[in-house]
Amino acid sequence: MTTMDTHLIAVDTPKRREILHNLIPLYLHDLSAYTPELQPNNQGRYEYDGLHLYEQDERLHACLIYHAEQIAGFVLVNEPPYTEKDVDYCVNELFVLNGFRKKGVAQAAIRQVFDQYPGKYLVFQLAGNARAVSFWRKVYERNNIAFSEVEEIYDGDLCVFQRFTL
């Protein structure tokens, strides 16, 4: 796999919205391993509160990640007022399907996000999700990004927060 085959496509059609809605429960199921806060609903489905806002507000950006013309995942990027103060962008969610992990697909997708949205960033991960924390630290290292990092409680979970400017 070459990362040149990785690209982002905005979730701006009903078909793309359906794909995103299909991927969200997979992502939340993965994430539920790190927090007891995530539980399926009474029908056994994980739901993302506020996902509909990505269809309604131009300051919220939902993109599908494609690799070699196959759906590989998604990324959600927020602008103010959906970020903390003094932050231009927050990579709110990033998900790559298992078959595309550890192949540079997520790195390539994030590089495209950074190219498309330069500014002050906030990114955070659940502290217990060591794979995600390690991934983001590698992103900063490989892209020569100076960042600050703190651990804080957010929504009842210990999280690792990183800030940087592009």
Q: What is the mean pLDDT of residues 130-154?
A: 97
pLDDT of res. 3: 62
Query: Residues 132-143: pLDDT tens digits?
Result: 999 999 999 999
Percentage of the chain lying above the pLDDT 90 cut: 96
Question: What residue ranges in 127-156 does DSSP mark as E strands?
Answer: 147-154
61 within 8 A of 7, measured Cβ to Cβ: no
Q: In this predicted structure, which of 1-10, 17-26, 69-78, 104-113 has the lowest mean pLDDT? A: 1-10
CA atoms within 13 A on the CB side of 63: 22
In the chain the first and final C-alpha atoms are separated, in Å, by 27
From CA 81, how far away is CA 58, in angstroms rounded?
11
Asked if the model's pLDDT at residue 85 lies above 80, the reply is yes
Asked if the model's pLDDT at residue 62 lies above 70, the reply is yes
pLDDT of res. 4: 78
CATH number of 6-165: 3.40.630.30
Q: What is the DSSP string of 28-51?
A: HHHHGGG-TT----TTS----TTT
Q: What is the mean pLDDT of residues 76-100?
A: 98
Residue ranges of domains in the chain: 6-165
Asked if the model's pLDDT at residue 1 lies above 60, the reply is no
